[in-house]
Structure 1
Amino acid sequence: MKKEVLIFISNGYADWEAGYISAELNKPESEYKVRTVSLNSDNIKSMGGFTVIPDYNIDNIPSQFEMLILIGGTTWKDNSAIIPVVEKCIQDRTPIAAICDATTFLAEHGYLDNIPHTGNSLDYLKEYAPNYKGHTNFIEKQTVSSDDIITANGTAALEFTREILKKLKVMPVEKVDGWYTFFKNGFYQES
């Protein structure tokens, strides 16, 4: 039986931020499968115009899953109903990976105050997460992995995927690094 990784989506989610990791985790040889979760069972429309029927809503998610991935998008200020799921992950030490405005959401609700993290920028977090108190733990990098929380800025879909692949031990680290280099640089390197 494959292990489930949940990706939380809401209307206006940034579909490209989930593309690489979903493709890797859903490969036939992977021991994982991706399932989407949303606040309710209504169809969800991404920023790119894809319509998705969520696999779960927050009231019927499985009791056991391997990671919760929070994808950025335009409606994070309306997603406070996901907080009990985030709390359960923290309590159970289930890893959470957040990118773009999902990191801003975590910052606003105090989840990043005491751990090394990143986000779209420190100024962005200060402006859009007024309750944020983790300024001294902000690291200006594409991704930061801290114990059970991975954070990434909105330009780091590849780096975000790399950290998730490492955290879930999907493949040996050397293969993850090779995968990243291939997708970052392609077949032909610019001169």
Structure 2
Amino acid sequence: MHTIYVYVLDTLADWELGYALAELNSRRFFKRDAPQLAIKTVSYSKKPISTMGGVEITPDCLVDDVVASKTSTLLLPGANTWNDPHHAAIVEKAGELLSAGATVCAICGATAALADFGLLDARPHTSNGPGFLTMVSPGYKGSALYRDEPSVSDGGLITASSTGALLWTKHIIECLGVFQADTLESWYEYFRTGESEHFFALMQTLPSGDGC
């Protein structure tokens, strides 16, 4: 069993998690032998949070419940509230996860939180444009490893800009190994371009009766 921990906090950017959660929860394009996944929302308290879109989410578990192992993946969405000191615990936990060989996936404002903790200083990464992390994270020392791309995957660390959610999701799915390679490529090209040929190619990669 692989556990996907989704950190939730007030003003969470709904769209940044949309592709990833929809595909990982629905399993609609999973390959036959894909590993089982458990998706759990996590926060610093059990108090409900309100996303940027006004959706209320009550966390399933607390930061201390997150298991740092190779079968854990942590999703850190963007939000306007990352400066709240309550979130320091999950950033520290992200460091533990990376050290344990787990996967940490941060997008938009969450990348700044990792930069503050020094987790981007020694690994290729991206964020909301060149200079952003230097501007918002005074202690950031990783500018030489910054990549001006929508999403960057470096082993167990997957980062993205606020507009990079689609490629970020592709990298997450690829890391988890739950799609066939041709399924993932057709899925990505269809949602990237909107061209119907990629939708039909996607359907052809699935066993008969699967898909939407």
TM-score (normalised: structure 2): 0.83
Kindly state the Cα deviation for residue 28 of structure 1 after the two structures are TM-superposed. 4.7
Unaligned runs of 5+ in 2: 31-35, 198-212
Q: Please tell me whether residue 72 in structure 1 is matched to residue 78 in structure 2.
A: yes
**Is the 1:98–1:151 contact (alpha carbons within 8 Å) kept by the matching residues of 2?**
yes
Matched residue pairs, number? 188
**Is the 2:107–2:159 contact (alpha carbons within 8 Å) kept by the matching residues of 1?**
yes
* Offset from partner CA, 1:54-89 (integer Å, 9 cap, x none): 111113334655201111111111111213311220
**Is the 1:25–1:33 contact (alpha carbons within 8 Å) kept by the matching residues of 2?**
no
Q: Which runs of 4+ in 1 moved over 4 A?
A: 62-65
Taking the aligned partners of 1:15 and 1:177, their CA distance within structure 2 comes to 24
Helix, strand or coil at the partner of 2:65: coil
CA RMSD of aligned residues (A): 1.7
Helix, strand or coil at the partner of 2:64: coil
* Offset from partner CA, 1:33-72 (integer Å, 9 cap, x none): 3211111100010011100011111133346552011111
Taking the aligned partners of 1:139 and 1:63, their CA distance within structure 2 comes to 27
1:121 is aligned with what amino acid? G
Helix, strand or coil at the partner of 1:88: helix
What are the residue-to-residue correspondences of 1:53-64 with 2, within 5 Å?
A: 53-62=58-67
* Offset from partner CA, 1:122-158 (integer Å, 9 cap, x none): 2111110111000100010011111110010000111
**Greater C-alpha Rg:** 2
What are the residue-to-residue correspondences of 1:1-191 with 2, within 5 Å?
A: 2-28=1-27, 31-62=36-67, 65-78=71-84, 79-187=87-195
2:60 is aligned with what amino acid? D
TM-score (normalised: structure 1): 0.92
